Structure 1
Amino acid sequence: MKTKLNVTASLFAGLIFGFSANAQKTVIKKEALPANAQTFLKAHFGSKKPSYIIEDKEILSTEYKVQYDNKMEIEFDKKGNWKEVDGNNSKIPSSIIPKKIASYVKDNFRKEKITKIEIGTFGYETKLTNGLELKFNLKGDFTKIDK
Protein backbone atom coordinates (compact mmCIF):
# COMPACT_ATOMS: atom_id res chain seq x y z
CA MET A 1 0.00 0.00 0.00
CA LYS A 2 2.84 2.40 0.89
CA THR A 3 4.50 1.71 -2.45
CA LYS A 4 1.34 2.62 -4.38
CA LEU A 5 1.04 5.81 -2.35
CA ASN A 6 4.68 6.73 -2.98
CA VAL A 7 4.35 6.04 -6.70
CA THR A 8 1.16 8.12 -6.89
CA ALA A 9 2.76 10.98 -4.97
CA SER A 10 5.85 10.87 -7.20
CA LEU A 11 3.74 10.90 -10.38
CA PHE A 12 1.67 13.80 -9.06
CA ALA A 13 4.79 15.78 -8.12
CA GLY A 14 6.29 15.10 -11.55
CA LEU A 15 3.11 16.27 -13.24
CA ILE A 16 3.05 19.51 -11.24
CA PHE A 17 6.75 20.10 -11.97
CA GLY A 18 6.11 19.46 -15.67
CA PHE A 19 3.30 22.03 -15.74
CA SER A 20 5.43 24.67 -14.04
CA ALA A 21 8.37 23.93 -16.35
CA ASN A 22 6.12 24.93 -19.26
CA ALA A 23 5.57 28.40 -17.80
CA GLN A 24 6.61 31.06 -20.26
CA LYS A 25 7.40 34.66 -19.37
CA THR A 26 7.50 37.12 -22.24
CA VAL A 27 8.02 40.87 -22.40
CA ILE A 28 5.10 42.46 -24.25
CA LYS A 29 3.95 45.94 -25.28
CA LYS A 30 1.16 47.82 -23.51
CA GLU A 31 -1.13 47.29 -26.51
CA ALA A 32 -0.89 43.51 -26.04
CA LEU A 33 -2.50 43.71 -22.59
CA PRO A 34 -6.19 42.81 -22.26
CA ALA A 35 -8.49 45.83 -22.74
CA ASN A 36 -9.43 45.95 -19.02
CA ALA A 37 -5.77 46.27 -18.03
CA GLN A 38 -5.14 48.99 -20.61
CA THR A 39 -8.16 50.95 -19.34
CA PHE A 40 -7.01 50.55 -15.71
CA LEU A 41 -3.50 51.79 -16.49
CA LYS A 42 -4.80 54.78 -18.44
CA ALA A 43 -7.26 55.71 -15.66
CA HIS A 44 -4.78 55.48 -12.78
CA PHE A 45 -1.38 56.12 -14.36
CA GLY A 46 -2.28 58.36 -17.31
CA SER A 47 0.33 58.54 -20.03
CA LYS A 48 3.19 57.23 -17.86
CA LYS A 49 5.16 54.59 -19.72
CA PRO A 50 5.87 51.30 -17.93
CA SER A 51 9.47 50.12 -17.53
CA TYR A 52 8.32 46.70 -18.65
CA ILE A 53 5.27 44.46 -19.02
CA ILE A 54 5.52 40.70 -18.60
CA GLU A 55 3.02 38.11 -19.76
CA ASP A 56 3.36 34.98 -17.63
CA LYS A 57 1.71 32.05 -19.43
CA GLU A 58 1.29 28.75 -17.68
CA ILE A 59 -0.68 25.69 -18.70
CA LEU A 60 -3.81 26.68 -16.78
CA SER A 61 -3.46 30.45 -16.40
CA THR A 62 -2.04 33.67 -17.74
CA GLU A 63 -1.08 36.69 -15.66
CA TYR A 64 0.42 40.06 -16.45
CA LYS A 65 2.83 42.18 -14.44
CA VAL A 66 3.45 45.85 -15.19
CA GLN A 67 6.26 47.81 -13.54
CA TYR A 68 6.95 51.53 -13.67
CA ASP A 69 10.28 53.34 -13.10
CA ASN A 70 9.31 54.17 -9.52
CA LYS A 71 9.07 50.39 -8.81
CA MET A 72 5.25 50.52 -8.73
CA GLU A 73 3.98 47.07 -9.77
CA ILE A 74 0.53 46.07 -10.94
CA GLU A 75 -0.59 42.48 -11.47
CA PHE A 76 -3.53 41.51 -13.67
CA ASP A 77 -5.33 38.24 -14.30
CA LYS A 78 -5.86 36.79 -17.80
CA LYS A 79 -8.93 39.00 -18.35
CA GLY A 80 -7.04 42.16 -17.40
CA ASN A 81 -8.64 42.59 -13.98
CA TRP A 82 -6.22 44.00 -11.41
CA LYS A 83 -5.19 41.63 -8.63
CA GLU A 84 -2.53 43.65 -6.84
CA VAL A 85 -1.00 47.11 -6.85
CA ASP A 86 2.28 47.33 -4.95
CA GLY A 87 4.01 50.66 -4.43
CA ASN A 88 7.03 48.93 -2.85
CA ASN A 89 6.77 51.12 0.27
CA SER A 90 5.58 54.18 -1.67
CA LYS A 91 2.02 55.50 -1.70
CA ILE A 92 -0.17 54.00 -4.43
CA PRO A 93 -2.64 56.17 -6.40
CA SER A 94 -5.66 56.92 -4.23
CA SER A 95 -7.95 56.49 -7.26
CA ILE A 96 -7.36 52.71 -7.04
CA ILE A 97 -8.50 52.39 -3.42
CA PRO A 98 -12.24 51.85 -2.82
CA LYS A 99 -13.73 54.90 -1.05
CA LYS A 100 -14.84 52.95 2.02
CA ILE A 101 -11.33 51.57 2.57
CA ALA A 102 -9.73 54.99 2.00
CA SER A 103 -12.12 56.53 4.55
CA TYR A 104 -11.36 53.85 7.14
CA VAL A 105 -7.60 54.36 6.78
CA LYS A 106 -7.96 58.16 6.90
CA ASP A 107 -10.13 58.01 10.04
CA ASN A 108 -8.08 55.41 11.93
CA PHE A 109 -4.51 55.82 10.66
CA ARG A 110 -4.39 59.53 9.83
CA LYS A 111 -0.61 59.72 9.25
CA GLU A 112 -0.33 56.52 7.20
CA LYS A 113 -0.63 55.93 3.47
CA ILE A 114 -1.60 52.75 1.62
CA THR A 115 1.44 51.26 -0.11
CA LYS A 116 -0.14 48.06 -1.37
CA ILE A 117 -3.62 46.72 -2.13
CA GLU A 118 -4.60 43.25 -3.19
CA ILE A 119 -8.03 41.92 -4.09
CA GLY A 120 -8.92 38.27 -3.56
CA THR A 121 -11.92 36.00 -3.42
CA PHE A 122 -12.90 37.13 0.08
CA GLY A 123 -11.88 40.76 0.06
CA TYR A 124 -9.07 43.28 0.08
CA GLU A 125 -5.73 43.30 1.84
CA THR A 126 -3.87 46.56 2.25
CA LYS A 127 -0.46 47.46 3.60
CA LEU A 128 0.27 50.80 5.27
CA THR A 129 3.48 52.83 5.46
CA ASN A 130 3.89 51.69 9.09
CA GLY A 131 3.90 48.02 8.01
CA LEU A 132 0.42 47.14 9.30
CA GLU A 133 -1.71 44.98 7.04
CA LEU A 134 -5.45 45.64 7.12
CA LYS A 135 -8.08 43.28 5.75
CA PHE A 136 -11.47 44.28 4.39
CA ASN A 137 -14.35 42.28 2.94
CA LEU A 138 -15.48 42.76 -0.66
CA LYS A 139 -17.86 45.53 0.43
CA GLY A 140 -14.92 47.46 1.90
CA ASP A 141 -15.83 46.80 5.55
CA PHE A 142 -12.84 46.45 7.88
CA THR A 143 -12.40 42.88 9.20
CA LYS A 144 -9.01 42.65 10.94
CA ILE A 145 -5.41 43.77 11.32
CA ASP A 146 -2.51 41.49 10.42
CA LYS A 147 1.10 42.18 11.32
Structure 2
Amino acid sequence: MKKLALILTCLLTVFTVVAFAGNDKVITVKQLPNNAQLFLKSHFNANKVALVKMENKIITKDYEVTFVNGNKIDFDSNGNWEEIDCKATVVPKKVVPVKIYNYVKSNYPKEKIVKIERDRKGYAIKLSNRMELDFNNNFQLTEIDR
Protein backbone atom coordinates (compact mmCIF):
# COMPACT_ATOMS: atom_id res chain seq x y z
CA MET A 1 0.00 0.00 0.00
CA LYS A 2 2.87 2.37 0.80
CA LYS A 3 4.44 1.64 -2.59
CA LEU A 4 1.20 2.47 -4.38
CA ALA A 5 0.84 5.75 -2.47
CA LEU A 6 4.47 6.63 -3.26
CA ILE A 7 4.02 5.85 -6.95
CA LEU A 8 0.81 7.88 -7.14
CA THR A 9 2.48 10.82 -5.38
CA CYS A 10 5.41 10.70 -7.79
CA LEU A 11 3.11 10.54 -10.82
CA LEU A 12 1.03 13.43 -9.53
CA THR A 13 4.17 15.49 -8.99
CA VAL A 14 5.47 14.76 -12.48
CA PHE A 15 2.13 15.62 -14.10
CA THR A 16 1.89 18.85 -12.08
CA VAL A 17 5.38 19.94 -13.12
CA VAL A 18 4.74 19.09 -16.77
CA ALA A 19 1.41 20.91 -16.73
CA PHE A 20 2.99 23.99 -15.13
CA ALA A 21 5.99 24.08 -17.44
CA GLY A 22 4.95 25.37 -20.81
CA ASN A 23 2.17 27.67 -19.68
CA ASP A 24 2.33 30.85 -21.75
CA LYS A 25 1.06 34.03 -20.22
CA VAL A 26 0.56 37.32 -22.05
CA ILE A 27 2.30 40.16 -20.24
CA THR A 28 3.24 43.80 -20.94
CA VAL A 29 6.65 45.15 -21.96
CA LYS A 30 6.97 46.68 -18.48
CA GLN A 31 6.78 43.18 -16.98
CA LEU A 32 9.88 42.04 -18.89
CA PRO A 33 13.19 41.88 -17.01
CA ASN A 34 15.05 45.21 -17.03
CA ASN A 35 17.74 43.92 -19.41
CA ALA A 36 15.09 43.05 -21.99
CA GLN A 37 13.36 46.41 -21.63
CA LEU A 38 16.67 48.26 -22.12
CA PHE A 39 17.52 46.11 -25.13
CA LEU A 40 14.19 46.89 -26.77
CA LYS A 41 14.59 50.62 -26.12
CA SER A 42 18.15 50.61 -27.47
CA HIS A 43 17.69 48.54 -30.60
CA PHE A 44 13.98 48.26 -31.43
CA ASN A 45 12.48 51.49 -30.10
CA ALA A 46 10.89 52.37 -33.45
CA ASN A 47 9.08 49.01 -33.67
CA LYS A 48 5.59 48.63 -32.28
CA VAL A 49 5.14 45.61 -29.99
CA ALA A 50 2.19 43.38 -30.86
CA LEU A 51 2.54 40.70 -28.16
CA VAL A 52 4.73 39.81 -25.19
CA LYS A 53 4.57 36.29 -23.75
CA MET A 54 6.16 34.75 -20.69
CA GLU A 55 6.66 30.98 -20.73
CA ASN A 56 6.99 29.24 -17.40
CA LYS A 57 9.55 26.50 -17.59
CA ILE A 58 10.25 24.08 -14.74
CA ILE A 59 12.83 26.33 -13.07
CA THR A 60 13.04 29.48 -15.19
CA LYS A 61 10.93 31.75 -17.34
CA ASP A 62 11.49 32.70 -20.97
CA TYR A 63 10.08 35.69 -22.77
CA GLU A 64 9.04 36.25 -26.38
CA VAL A 65 8.39 39.66 -27.90
CA THR A 66 6.60 39.81 -31.25
CA PHE A 67 6.39 43.06 -33.17
CA VAL A 68 3.61 44.21 -35.50
CA ASN A 69 5.93 43.82 -38.51
CA GLY A 70 6.54 40.13 -37.67
CA ASN A 71 9.98 40.47 -36.09
CA LYS A 72 10.48 38.39 -32.96
CA ILE A 73 12.96 38.36 -30.04
CA ASP A 74 13.35 35.62 -27.44
CA PHE A 75 14.84 36.46 -24.04
CA ASP A 76 16.02 34.24 -21.20
CA SER A 77 14.86 34.64 -17.60
CA ASN A 78 17.45 37.39 -17.01
CA GLY A 79 16.34 39.39 -20.04
CA ASN A 80 19.31 38.48 -22.23
CA TRP A 81 18.40 37.92 -25.87
CA GLU A 82 18.69 34.37 -27.17
CA GLU A 83 17.23 34.76 -30.66
CA ILE A 84 16.38 37.69 -32.90
CA ASP A 85 14.35 36.84 -36.00
CA CYS A 86 13.78 39.78 -38.34
CA LYS A 87 11.21 38.82 -40.91
CA ALA A 88 10.55 42.39 -42.05
CA THR A 89 13.91 44.10 -41.43
CA VAL A 90 17.50 43.14 -40.60
CA VAL A 91 19.20 42.42 -37.29
CA PRO A 92 20.63 45.69 -35.96
CA LYS A 93 24.38 45.98 -36.59
CA LYS A 94 25.11 46.80 -32.94
CA VAL A 95 23.64 43.46 -31.83
CA VAL A 96 25.90 41.33 -34.03
CA PRO A 97 29.40 40.69 -32.64
CA VAL A 98 31.93 42.75 -34.65
CA LYS A 99 33.94 39.74 -35.85
CA ILE A 100 30.83 38.01 -37.18
CA TYR A 101 29.56 41.19 -38.81
CA ASN A 102 32.94 41.77 -40.48
CA TYR A 103 33.07 38.15 -41.70
CA VAL A 104 29.64 38.47 -43.31
CA LYS A 105 30.48 41.82 -44.92
CA SER A 106 33.77 40.46 -46.30
CA ASN A 107 32.42 37.17 -47.63
CA TYR A 108 28.78 37.96 -48.42
CA PRO A 109 28.73 41.72 -49.11
CA LYS A 110 25.29 41.74 -50.73
CA GLU A 111 23.60 39.75 -47.97
CA LYS A 112 21.95 40.99 -44.79
CA ILE A 113 21.73 39.24 -41.43
CA VAL A 114 18.04 38.47 -40.84
CA LYS A 115 18.34 36.12 -37.86
CA ILE A 116 20.81 35.55 -35.05
CA GLU A 117 20.77 33.02 -32.23
CA ARG A 118 23.18 32.53 -29.37
CA ASP A 119 23.68 29.84 -26.80
CA ARG A 120 26.53 28.50 -24.71
CA LYS A 121 28.20 26.96 -27.80
CA GLY A 122 28.24 30.11 -29.91
CA TYR A 123 26.20 31.91 -32.54
CA ALA A 124 24.07 30.93 -35.52
CA ILE A 125 23.07 33.47 -38.12
CA LYS A 126 20.82 33.37 -41.14
CA LEU A 127 21.46 35.56 -44.15
CA SER A 128 18.95 37.11 -46.54
CA ASN A 129 19.87 34.43 -49.13
CA ARG A 130 18.75 31.77 -46.56
CA MET A 131 22.32 30.60 -45.96
CA GLU A 132 23.05 29.74 -42.33
CA LEU A 133 26.43 30.23 -40.66
CA ASP A 134 27.49 28.86 -37.27
CA PHE A 135 30.26 30.43 -35.18
CA ASN A 136 31.84 29.25 -31.95
CA ASN A 137 32.35 31.50 -28.93
CA ASN A 138 35.67 32.68 -30.42
CA PHE A 139 33.71 33.89 -33.48
CA GLN A 140 35.30 31.31 -35.75
CA LEU A 141 33.13 29.85 -38.49
CA THR A 142 32.30 26.22 -37.72
CA GLU A 143 29.59 25.34 -40.22
CA ILE A 144 27.84 26.56 -43.35
CA ASP A 145 24.39 25.34 -44.27
CA ARG A 146 23.25 26.31 -47.75
Measured against the shorter chain, the TM-score band is 0.7 to 0.9
1:15-57 deviations in Å (ceiling 9; x for gaps): 3x65332232111111110011111111101253311100111
Matched residue, 1:59: 58
SS in 1 for 2:84: strand
SS in 2 for 1:51: strand
Distance 2:110 2:96 in 1: 17
Q: Which runs of structure 2 are paired with 1:1-147 in the superposition (5 Å)?
A: 15=14, 18-22=16-20, 23-88=22-87, 90-147=89-146
2:33 and 2:78 in contact (8 A); partners too: yes
Distance 1:130 1:55, change over 3 A: same
1:96-116 deviations in Å (ceiling 9; x for gaps): 111111110000011111110
Alpha-carbon offset, residue 60 of structure 1:
2.1
2:70 and 2:88 in contact (8 A); partners too: no
1:90 and 1:129 in contact (8 A); partners too: no
Alpha-carbon offset, residue 89 of structure 1:
6.5
Distance 1:108 1:140, change over 3 A: same
2:74 and 2:82 in contact (8 A); partners too: yes
Q: CA RMSD in A?
A: 2.1
1:89 and 1:129 in contact (8 A); partners too: no
Q: Where has structure 1 moved over 4 Å in runs of 4 or more?
A: none
Distance 2:47 2:85 in 1: 16
1:82-102 deviations in Å (ceiling 9; x for gaps): 000001364222221111111
Q: Which consecutive residues of structure 2, in runs of 5 or more, have no partner in the other structure?
A: 1-9
> Size of the alignment, in residue pairs?
136
2:126 and 2:133 in contact (8 A); partners too: yes
TM-score by structure 2 length? 0.83
